Copies of this chain bind each other. A is one copy, B any other.
């Protein structure tokens, strides 16, 4: 493209300092959180919905592809430009000025560029939170665009469930601003258009404002580590916990022994909580929580959890090999160290899978049997959200493994795992990371033709211009 003319034009529309072109300034916007580095033609950082609309309209008119970027914490190369140098980055990082809390409605209206941590810090005094619990600290617009889930999905659901309204800019010749910012909980007056922009990685339109559901911050929490009697008992254990504590259950996370050992090795300050220091093959972190401060006559949550685990322990089904209640801070510290720990074990080939809840352990069991035969010297270090069927299925290969020198081995490993997960178990190849360049090939492979066709047609009607890194 005739760069300088477009750059000047964009600067005229949204401000001189709002368009970056220096390589050093652009570098952070070109580099993804986990994978690869692209090349941006420019980085546009509009400070308002109106400016963002003007920039989008200009780029659509001139055939320039824009890649919307929010917090750039995604793991599938959905928010960075490709290597051609022809794509512009459209950053939300200056859209941070709106914060309108409605306590009675338990909702908040925020600009899409606000960080999750900022949002929750500002909600603290009201005793409320946006209940999506993640390892990363994304901006809100990107959370909606990828429909993030996280560790408390079981209790609070995903971002979709907690989104009341959106303001969106469409990639058409006028940069149409679609105001879908309802703050109503019940509203059935036609098609719910905001759903198109949730989980579609910014390819249907650019989110600039969000109205979000809030929840009371839990005031009491109790956690336990459970060692299931066998892989088969995990699913029954989950159902037993749900029957026993119902909506108090706020996490039910699975951790493989390999992942736990990697975390304990990597973070020496973590205490090994297991008897004799022997890490079991598979451990579950169960958390219950409630929003009230302790009340007269009320059992403490630790007592509740103790009682429930005792009942399950003594039950006929013998679901538990071991179980103990422990301090939430310590137990979650171990859970949160898994990701970094696993990364330090070697070269990581990571999968973001999900299954019917009852299939999680069946899939893991099959992998344990077949992987070593098919791909020797690859270690399984999985962990994940059993309560909602999610599995961060991580494979680790030694750093000096010659097979990793070109992409062929990794590609065949990836294809083999995905084929079993998706085609044989009916699972998802992207449970909570949505679609970007990194997993586009699998979208193409596993999405039935009529669904791809309809998705592409709908997208063309909504945002005909080139937007986002996802291809339909």
Contacts and interface: CB of A to CB of B under 8 A. Distances in A.
B243 A292 contact: yes
B104 A291 contact: no
Interface string A385-397: 1001110000000
Nearest to A292: B244
A222 to B, nearest CB: 14
Contacts of A190: 199-200, 435, 443, 447, 451-452, 455, 470, 472
Contact of A299 (B204, B299, B435): B299
A303 B292 contact: no
A240 to B, nearest CB: 10
B431 A355 contact: no
Interface stretch (A3-11, A179-187, A266-274, A316-324): A179-187
A390 B243 contact: no
Interface string A350-389: 0000111110000000000000000000000000010011
Nearest to A197: B191
Interface in A445-459: 446-448, 450-452, 454-455, 457-459
Interface stretch (A27-35, A38-46, A146-154, A254-262): A146-154
B185 A388 contact: yes
A38 B46 CA distance: 54
A435 B238 CA distance: 40
Nearest to A160: B192
A420 interface: no
A127 B430 contact: no
Contact of A104 (B184, B358, B430): B358
Interface stretch (A85-93, A245-253, A329-337): A245-253
A184 B308 CA distance: 28
Contact of A176 (B199, B242, B450): B450
A389 B105 contact: yes
A17 interface: no
B458 A178 contact: no
A196 interface: yes
A141 to B, nearest CB: 16
A290 interface: yes
6 contacts: A104-B239, A184-B354, A186-B388, A188-B428, A216-B242, A295-B304
Kindly list the 9 A-B residue pairs having the minimum CB-CB distance in the complex, ordered from nearest.
A104-B358, A246-B291, A195-B195, A247-B247, A187-B428, A186-B431, A186-B354, A104-B235, A105-B356
